[in-house]
Amino acid sequence: MEDLAGDCSVLAKVFAAFGNRLLEQNVRTYLQAKTGVNKGILRTIAEEPGMFFAYNNGVTATASSVQTRRLPSGALAISHIKDFQVVNGGQTTASLLYARDGLGRNLDHVYVQVKLSVVEEDRLADVVPRISEYANTQNKVSLADLASNSPVQIRIERFSKEVSVPQKAGELHSSKWFYERARGQYKNLFSYKTPSERKKLELMYPKTRLVTKTDLAKYELSFDGRPQHVSEGAQKCFNRYTTSVLAKLGDGSSLSETWFRRAMAKALLFIDLDEAVQNSSWYQADRGYKAQIVTYTIAACADGFRAKAQQLDLDRIWREQSVPSALLGWMLEQARLVADILRSPPDNVRNISEFAKRDFCWEQYVRGKVGVPSETAAQFGVSIEEYCDEARQGSREGAMNLEVDFDVALFGLVPRANDIITQAQKNGIASPKNISALTKIASGRLNLSKGEKTALKYLLERLEIEC
């Protein structure tokens, strides 16, 4: 074999010569360019070939023997390899060949990291399958996980730490909603705590008030009249929410406490309706499709209020931390009607779950057919003008308060500024603007530019430093 010096053109040539024989020990074969991963590989090759090495997870390979030689540059290259197998990274390998032959891309300056394990020939049959299995069974990192460090997600989490739930008469402890920005945060909150510490945390953050990123997407899109997208599943729903809603919010500075309180009120309404459907006699008699019934009911009821130039009074639900029984009873009646519609799809549709994912299910079969507020239900609505006025006022007040609070808090950073610079550099998240801001603060100069403030806020949130 020719030298394997690291550029992807060589890996593509090897795959072209040996095809799937190269992937015999891989637990997966190539999925073509249909998955998000493979599309991403091809997009990087086309648009940012120089970043392929940084973006790609690399290839895990095995061989029974390897011979090397020195190149004129002094680098060590492989000149001969026996029993070469790609055990993890088959998608990358096949995508490289497709990019070269199918799309005409030049791979001469595209590089990929290869972890090559040399296994004695008599142990190949035993060791190589295990390497393949373990390399392919790491915890999957979803797109929702990758979005957990966005400024918007960090800001929502900050609200959950700062905004307390209104206490009811007789309650001795304040509590908060817990927004799980990163998977496992809620569980980790209780790790390595004493029994008394865990009890205090359970009172502050009861499990009944836990909302994850994907939960929030489900609640928001349901109220926004997009139950067909919620019915696609948690990850697809979150991706749609991120691209259509969160992406427009930039750094999230336009979000206010009012927005957060209403989002948690939506969560409360969704959770209570889900439980009411679960316990209803009609659902117990014919179980199934509860997730679709609930999202379609929420969407239909919210749409019914909007048709009357109203919005559900989410501020009232937040203040009371409960859904009025009359409102919940009316919504449960609507849920039964929704269930009947979803369970009676058109003749050419056999799969109810797939029916619920289609636009025509919402537009032609559910929307406007149910959810029109009764006289009793209408009392739980407020005019759209009033609803929007409160939201705008909340945004203005929230932004002003946050800005004033931040300016005051800068004084407390003066003695810690140099330590924060060190932390930022150590964690690889230092930038010219946040370092400039911290350098000014360290010298007692607090007149930061808007850009420096934004960069510093983001840095402090990433480092989870309270100021």
| Tokens found for residue 374 | 């009764």
Distance CA 224, CA 330 (A): 20
- Residues ≥6 apart with Cβ < 8 Å to 147: 153, 213, 238, 242, 246
**Residue 326's pLDDT is what?**
96
State residue 390's pLDDT score. 65
Choose among 224, 185, 179, 178: nearest CA to 202: 178
pLDDT of amino acid 97: 86
Amino acid code (one letter) for 219: Y
Q: State the SS3 of the chain.
A: CCCECCEHHHHHHHHHHHHHHHHCCCCCCCCHHHCHHHHHHHHHHHHCHHHHHHHCCCEEEEECEEEEEECCCCCEEEEEEECCEEEECHHHHHHHHHHHHHCCCCCCCCECCEEEEECCHHHHHHHHHHHHHHHCCCCCCCHHHHHHHCHHHHHHHHHHHHCECCCCCCCCCCCECEEECCCCHHHHHCCCCCHHHHHHHHHHCCHHHEEEHHHHHHHHHHHCCCHHHHCCCHHHHHHHHHHHCHHHHCCCCCCCHHHHHHHHHHHHHHHHHHHHHHHCHHHHHCCCCHHHHHHHHHHHHHHHHHHCCEEECHHHHHHHCCCCHHHHHHHHHHHHHHHHHHCCCCCCCCCHHHHHCCHHHHHHHHECCECCCCHHHHCCEEEHHHHHHHHHHHHHHHHHHHHHHHHHHHHHHHHHHHHHHHHHHHCCCCCHHHHHHHHHHHCCCCCCCHHHHHHHHHHHHHCCCCC
CA-CA distances (angstroms) from residue 32 to 29, 114, 239?
9, 21, 22
* pLDDT value, residue 2: 42
Structure tokens at 157: 């989490």
- Block residue for tokens 């406490």: 257
Q: What does residue 296 show for φ and ψ, rounded to 5 degrees? A: -70, -35
**What's the pLDDT at 154?**
86
Q: Residue written as tokens 């991963």?
A: 37
CA–CA distance, 352 with 343 (Å, rounded to integer): 7
pLDDT of res. 11: 86
C-alpha distances in Å from residue 343, one per residue of 69, 223, 340: 68, 22, 5
Q: Are 267 and 177 in contact (CB under 8 A)?
A: yes
Low-confidence stretches of the chain (pLDDT < 50) are 1-5, 30-31, 394, 396-397, 399-401
Whether the CB-CB separation of 151 and 461 falls below 8 Å is answered with yes
Residues comprising the chain, all counted: 467
**Distance (Å) of CA 418 to CA 86, 197, 440, 467:** 47, 33, 10, 14
pTM for the model stands at: 0.66
